[in-house]
Chain A
Amino acid sequence: MPFAKSKPAEALPLQKKGALFYFKRDWQLYALMLLPMVFIIVFKYLAYTGLSVSFLDYKVARGYAGSEFVGLEIFEKVFNHRDFGKAVFNTLLLNILDLIFSFPMPIILALMLNEIRVKWFKRTTQTLLYLPHFLSWVVIGATAYQMFTTGTGIINVLITNAGGSDIPFLQEDGWWLFTYVVIGIWQTMGWGTIIYLAAITNVNAELYEAAKVDGANRWQQCLHVTLPCIRSTIVVMLIMQLGKLMGGSFERVLALSNAKATEFTTTIPVLVYRWFQSNKFSESTALGLFQSVIGLILVLVSDRVAKKLGEGGLL
């Protein structure tokens, strides 16, 4: 019986055992782990070989081996492309706006939800707030056009009927940016509260009691107890968000873009998609790689900064 063999070993913890011993003892667990490991290696790591396309003049029918190696020529081409600068700027702009406006929203909302005392009302509100998260951007995009189009959109019909004039929510560059951010907030804020609400439930109730004793009102409790207690969660979320600064939602831009308001819709993911669609595989891979590398650097830097500031960090 294998279990009978392993028991005496546990009884002698001081004796150091080799890897083989543990493997023999727990081989069932290793066997179970094999499948996920293979999955990760094949689909997460072997896929990296595809990045070699960005160093090749890749022709699909010739494959990796048959395509000519061109070094960094593709990257040079991508960096010199006339839309490259615009794409980087727009990607940063859209994501920084999101960071400024969308990131704090779930925190504020979670704090507010935390203060609601009527249970059924809190639950209903939460559910309603989660719902937009489950809608795809295609649906949201189509609905947004139904609502915000000039002339025929519901909102604009209401505005004009009330005596105002059409607002080109999605049809002029400035307004488009505004609508893009607002719709983003609406879609993500509810779902984002989950993690903060979970963090808030972990706050030690004694701290509130102590605060109360010290005469803190609800606002002060919120400010001086709840917020500091969920600070590490906020920092982790912020680091993760910073990692996405060069990425951003491709579907969101695509679903909300149109041929009129085009100033801010050329982003890196959109450019990758455009090139991929026209079979410029090398260029789109190179741009995607560039984006990922910057994303990685951003995560590492912000993690370092967080640790320097005395926070737990992510890594």
Chain B
Amino acid sequence: MQNTWKKAAALLMAAAMSTTLLAGCGGSGDSTATSTSTGTDSSATSETSTESTGSYTDYSAGFPERVTLQIPVYDRGFENWDVTNNYYTQWVQQEFGEKYNVDVQFVAISRTNEVTDYMQMIAAGTAPDIIMHYDMPQAVAYYDQGALQTIDYDEVAFYAPTYWEKMKDTIETYGTVNDDKAFIFAERDPIYYNYVTLIRKDWCDQVGMAVPTTWEELNAVADAWKEAGLGTINHELITKSFTYFYPWIEADSAANQEELALYLDLNVAPFTWSATENYLRAMNEQYNNGELDPNFYLTTDDTMEKSKFVSGECGTYSFYISNGTDAISSLLANFPDAEVAVLNSTPPIVADGYTPYYYEYPSYGMIMGINADSTDEERAAVYMYLEWLSQPENLTFMQYGVEGETYTVNENGINALVTDYTGESALSQNQNKDYWCLVVESISYGDEAKDLESNKLTLAPAGYEDLIQQSYDMCKANESNGLISPIFTSVVESSSDYTADLTSLWQEAYVACITCAPEEFDSLYAEYSQEYLDAGYQEILDEKQALIDAGSVIYPQ
């Protein structure tokens, strides 16, 4: 009898486990099926929505059946912060979700691995209703993968009138790819003075020199540092977001919009462009004079760059400053007499004869597409959520939290964060930005002086507000030197084909050109230029040129 029981139990267990396993497989099979079918679905949707007559169901009283809305949120790995379930996500559910009968689910997207995360979710059919990215080429890549559905502007206007009113010009200008209405955007009123390069002022004083204001002065200071046995100029290996060449663009190139369209690209380094040659030549000189960190190519991330600054190995450090940074406090812990000043902000330091051009953001922030899998109700819910989030009272709550707890309002009407607040309504380390970045990119009072005052509180560690002022002044003085990248309205196919290979070759080539002996520079640069062209850059340039000739480019006004 006992044996029979044992056998029965064994069989039951084996069966149960096998079923679970099979059920798991079944699930994934289903999702593949869904994602496959959506390919055709989305094109069907696009046809109907472009012919839409403008009659939309009004859900302002709530959806008749509960709708699940999946909103992506960047997970930056902040300690003690659950991106998908916290005070603010619960507040969204309570204020927005319950009102409209929507189940708002936040989907974490790893900030450092976002494209892979998105791609996997798209392949599995589990991507959130919004598919987003900060840069246009990658957003276009999602479109190219067939992951987005066509957007009906009338529908956006119907469900999100406030949002549409604010963003319609931007959307109508930039939202189209290959004649498909693919994207909607968040507003961007950019600030540039949160990016700074700090320099050891005490070292400058020690060698009896002023804080440098030009490339030549910087090199002279670094020379003096070398003589005095101090550190070198810091440099983080450039592997993405290529903007290194802006200070080396020649004036006639900057004035030539076609040339800019051809070469400005955050994803592909314009290795063969004159600006890159100028840059590399100057860096080569700096390296060979011993002014640059000799192991710069081993500095592969911000943490390493910071540690070289903090440990006194290097005298400069470039980063996005915020009041939470430990760069200055760690430096002072190691060198109590250390002093820092701003060497440059977003407008870079330039050599004689050059203009401090800088990467100017386009008028949009986050680029969003609607998941091809999303149903009509889910799409409506997305727009309604954007509308709801655009309301000033909701936005302020998401940005600042609860008055009296997470922030106080000072006599000038500026919201000052209570930085040591740790209660349940505490904000995330970047002030909940990853929730409200869907509608605006930065916090603004609509008044520059007020914004500056507010930013001094949020950007500078206590006692270092002057750094923000210095940075602001530098940006202000060079405001007119921003270059906005022209946008292609068609997919540059070869770009996605070759980006990975070119990025890999770029690292090799640029490090080789900087570290070679000065007399070898010309031949090495020519050699690598040819290799770079052969590796796919020529094809990208040809394709871009064809698009330029066909007029498929929007030039900034």
Q: Are B145 and A83 in contact (CB under 8 A)?
A: no
A28-B7, A39-B21, A66-B36 known; A274+B14 contact, CB < 8 A: no
Q: Are B38 and A32 in contact (CB under 8 A)?
A: no
**In the assembled complex, B325 has its CB within 8 A of some CB on chain A:** no
B182 to chain A, nearest CB (A): 13
Contact of B295 among A38, A59, A150 (CB under 8 A): A150
Q: Are B21 and A61 in contact (CB under 8 A)?
A: no
Q: Which residues of A contact B282 (CB under 8 A)?
A: none
Q: Which partner residue on chain B sits nearest A65 by CB separation?
A: B36
In chain A, positions 40-67 with a C-beta closer than 8 Å to chain B are: 42, 46, 59-66
A107 to B17, CA, bound (A): 43
A28-B7, A32-B14, A152-B295 known; A279+B534 contact, CB < 8 A: no
A312 to B535, CA, bound (A): 48
Chain A binding surface, main DSSP class: loop
Q: Are A149 and B25 in contact (CB under 8 A)?
A: no
A31 to B14, CA, bound (A): 6
Q: Are A61 and B35 in contact (CB under 8 A)?
A: yes
**In the assembled complex, B116 has its CB within 8 A of some CB on chain A:** yes
A61-B39, A151-B294 known; A35+B18 contact, CB < 8 A: yes
Which of A177-185, A194-202, A230-238, A258-266 contacts the other chain? Answer: A258-266
A275 to B499, CA, bound (A): 10
Q: Which residues of B contact A83 (CB under 8 A)?
A: 501
Q: Are B496 and A149 in contact (CB under 8 A)?
A: no
Q: Which residues of A contact B18 (CB under 8 A)?
A: 34-35, 38
Q: Are A259 and B36 in contact (CB under 8 A)?
A: no
**In the assembled complex, A278 has its CB within 8 A of some CB on chain B:** yes
Q: How many residues of A contact B (CB 8 A)?
A: 37
**In the assembled complex, A122 has its CB within 8 A of some CB on chain B:** no
**In the assembled complex, A145 has its CB within 8 A of some CB on chain B:** yes
A149 to B294, CA, bound (A): 11
Q: How many residues of B contact A (CB 8 A)?
A: 48
**In the assembled complex, B517 has its CB within 8 A of some CB on chain A:** no
**In the assembled complex, A82 has its CB within 8 A of some CB on chain B:** yes
Q: Which residues of B contact A274 (CB under 8 A)?
A: 500-501, 504
Q: Are A61 and B146 in contact (CB under 8 A)?
A: yes
**In the assembled complex, A280 has its CB within 8 A of some CB on chain B:** yes
**In the assembled complex, A15 has its CB within 8 A of some CB on chain B:** no
**In the assembled complex, B237 has its CB within 8 A of some CB on chain A:** yes
Q: Are A280 and B500 in contact (CB under 8 A)?
A: yes
A297 to B123, CA, bound (A): 32
Q: Are A278 and B499 in contact (CB under 8 A)?
A: yes
Q: Which partner residue on chain A sits nearest B497 by CB separation?
A: A280
**In the assembled complex, B95 has its CB within 8 A of some CB on chain A:** no
**In the assembled complex, A277 has its CB within 8 A of some CB on chain B:** yes
B3 to chain A, nearest CB (A): 8
Which of B63-71, B245-253, B413-421, B507-515 contacts the other chain? Answer: B507-515
In chain B, positions 468-517 with a C-beta closer than 8 Å to chain A are: 496-497, 499-501, 504, 507-508, 510-512, 515
Chain B binding surface, main DSSP class: helix
A263 to chain B, nearest CB (A): 9
A262 to B511, CA, bound (A): 10
A88 to B237, CA, bound (A): 27
In chain B, positions 15-49 with a C-beta closer than 8 Å to chain A are: 15, 17-18, 21-22, 25, 32, 35-36, 38-40
Q: Are B372 and A61 in contact (CB under 8 A)?
A: yes
Between B22, B35, B147, B512, the greatest number of chain A beta carbons within 10 A of the residue's beta carbon is seen for B35
A31-B11, A38-B18, A279-B115 known; A82+B535 contact, CB < 8 A: yes
A66 to B500, CA, bound (A): 25
A61 to B32, CA, bound (A): 9
A259 to B506, CA, bound (A): 9
Task: Mark A147-172 against chain B: 1 for CB-CB distance below 8 A, else 0.
Answer: 00111100000000000000000010
Q: Are B500 and A64 in contact (CB under 8 A)?
A: no
Q: Which partner residue on chain A sits nearest B531 by CB separation?
A: A82
A259 to B298, CA, bound (A): 7
Between A28, A151, A279, the greatest number of chain B beta carbons within 10 A of the residue's beta carbon is seen for A279
Q: Which residues of B contact A28 (CB under 8 A)?
A: 7, 10-11
Q: Are B297 and A61 in contact (CB under 8 A)?
A: no
Task: Mark A54-86 against chain B: 1 for CB-CB distance below 8 A, else 0.
Answer: 000001111111100000000000000111000
Task: Mark A204-238 against chain B: 1 for CB-CB distance below 8 A, else 0.
Answer: 00000000000000000000000000000000000
Contact of B508 among A32, A46, A151, A259 (CB under 8 A): A259
A246 to B296, CA, bound (A): 33
27 A–B pairs (Cβ distance < 8 Å), ordered by A: A31-B11, A32-B14, A35-B17, A35-B18, A59-B144, A60-B35, A60-B123, A60-B146, A61-B35, A61-B39, A62-B145, A63-B32, A64-B32, A65-B36, A66-B36, A66-B39, A81-B501, A171-B295, A258-B297, A259-B237, A259-B510, A259-B511, A260-B297, A260-B511, A262-B507, A278-B500, A279-B145
